[in-house]
Every structure is written in structure tokens, then in C-alpha cells.
Structure 1
Amino acid sequence: MKRIPVKPLAATALLLVTLASYGNAYAQGAPQAITEKRTDVVQLASGYRASKLSGADVYNKNKDTIGTLDDLIVSPAADRGTYAILSVGGFLGMGKHLVAVPFNDLQINNRRVVLPDATKKSLEALPEFKYAPD
């Protein structure tokens, strides 16, 4: 088998074409830095999936139903806090009032979601949450 020599310019062009086919290595024109962090995947797997919590009733410490978990949102702010969007009031989806509370304020035990010190009235007094348009 005869070996065909590759010229440096052709090799560079081939490398650039290959890199370009994998998508941009830059976002918004700036290089990206990815920091890896080791995660205990066994412990993480025992957590609660957002898809399974959606629609769960939310109770207070008196075991009163005070709302429903509508959604979870990760804030775009630098702190990247997660917020629970609760649906309060209404009937069959009509007249419901959405509010945002910090996810860390919720207590979750066996898929039972508790916001201990809240009442339906205190949640309805919070500013209404509205989703941004897609």
C-alpha cells in the first residue's frame, strides 16, 4: 500500500472542517469554560424528579391543602435559585392564582409537599406569577 503524503496546509484545512462540523466551540463569540464537579449519582437518583412532583398537592403544617405544585423554574440570575410555582385557588383550572416561592422553603417527604407556615390566604396575597412568553 502506497502512503500518500499530506501537505501541512491540507491537514490544517481538514482539521478546521472537522472542528466546524462539531458546532461552534464558542458561545456568543467568547470561549466557554466547563467545570466538572463529581456528583454522587446514587444519592442524586434517590431525589425527587420535577416531572413526578408536578401536580402534587401542597399542604401546610396543619395538613390543610393550600395549593398545587404547578412547575419548577431555575432562575436566570447569577444565584441560579430554583423556585416552585404554586397554583392557589380557582376551580378546575379557572381563576387560579400562580405564585413563586423558593424551592428550599418546601419540605418534601415521600412525594408529600409541605410549605409549613403558609395558608391559602397568605399565598393568594403574594404577587401573581406570570410566565414569560416563549
Structure 2
Amino acid sequence: MRNLTIEPFVATALLLAALASNGNAYAQGAPQAIMEKRTDVVQLASGYRASKLSGADVYNRNKDAIGTLDDLIVSPGGGRGTYAILSVGGFLGMGKHLVAVPFNDLQIENRRIVLPDATKKSLAALPEFKYAPE
């Protein structure tokens, strides 16, 4: 009986020791290096929560409403950055057209999202964004 309680403990200890010695973490069997980086929390706290931006109207520099921020897409690995998915056209959600624009092109001024040089027509001319099937 005593060996049964010691074996799981020993196995767990060996696994933890192996992970600690390599500096790698394993998720679904694939090794992943873990890097710690300090974050400036004061600067981060002055940012914008995605949940608060979703559904917000988007304006151009003439203060014309040109669409709605529908979603944010963060590319894997940070290669291409973040994209804002805008809903343009349509009425009451019917016939809307989704387009992707780089999030860095948006400006947030006085709690208002601005895409300075865009118009409804220029956004509608962009290729339609479609989500990849899950």
C-alpha cells in the first residue's frame, strides 16, 4: 500500500524536475520556451479594453459615422499585428459588409474612434472580410 502512494509523488517530482531543468513548458506535447518580460503597468493601464471598443461607432475626420467596430483580430506570433474588423453599410445589421483595417490606422480621440481619411464608400470598396471556419 505504501508504494502506491509514493509512486505518483515520485513521478510528479521527476516530471517537474525535467521541466525545470530544460526551461521549457510542454503544451500538447510541443516544447515552448517561456520568456518573462516586465510590463509597464502604468502605460498599459492607459490603453483601451477591446470589450469597450467593440460595437463603437467609427468616424472620419469630418465627423461622419462611417461604420462600427465589430471585432479585433490579433495575428498569431505578432507577425502582422492587430486588425480592426469594421462593419460598414447595411441597416439594423442587415446587409452589413465586414472589412479589415490595421488597428494602428485608427485614432482614438475623446473616446471616439476615428479613421481619418476613410468614407463609407471607400470602406465599402475594400474586400469583404470573412472569418475562417472553426
Match of 2:67, SS state, is strand
Aligned to 2:82: 82
- CA distance in 2 between counterparts of 1:47 and 1:89 reads 29
Question: How far off is 1:131 after superposition?
Answer: 1.2
Aligned to 1:13: 11
Aligned to 1:22: none
1:112-127 alignment to 2 at 5 Å?
112-127=112-127
Q: Which amino acid aligns with 2:13?
A: L
Residue-pair matches, total: 123
1:1-134 alignment to 2 at 5 Å?
12-16=10-14, 25-76=25-76, 79-134=79-134
> TM-score under structure 2 normalisation?
0.80
- CA distance in 2 between counterparts of 1:51 and 1:13 reads 43
Larger Rg, first or second structure (1 or 2) = 1
Question: How far off is 1:110 after superposition?
Answer: 3.0
Seq. identity, % = 84
34-43 or 86-95: bigger deviation: 34-43
Structure 2: give runs of 5+ residues left out of the alignment: 1-6, 18-24
Structure 1: give runs of 5+ residues left out of the alignment: 1-8, 20-24
Q: Which amino acid aligns with 1:48?
A: Y
Question: How far off is 1:101 after superposition?
Answer: 0.1
Question: How far off is 1:79 after superposition?
Answer: 0.9
78-87 or 26-35: bigger deviation: 26-35
Match of 1:55, SS state, is coil
Aligned to 2:4: none
Question: How far off is 1:76 after superposition?
Answer: 2.5
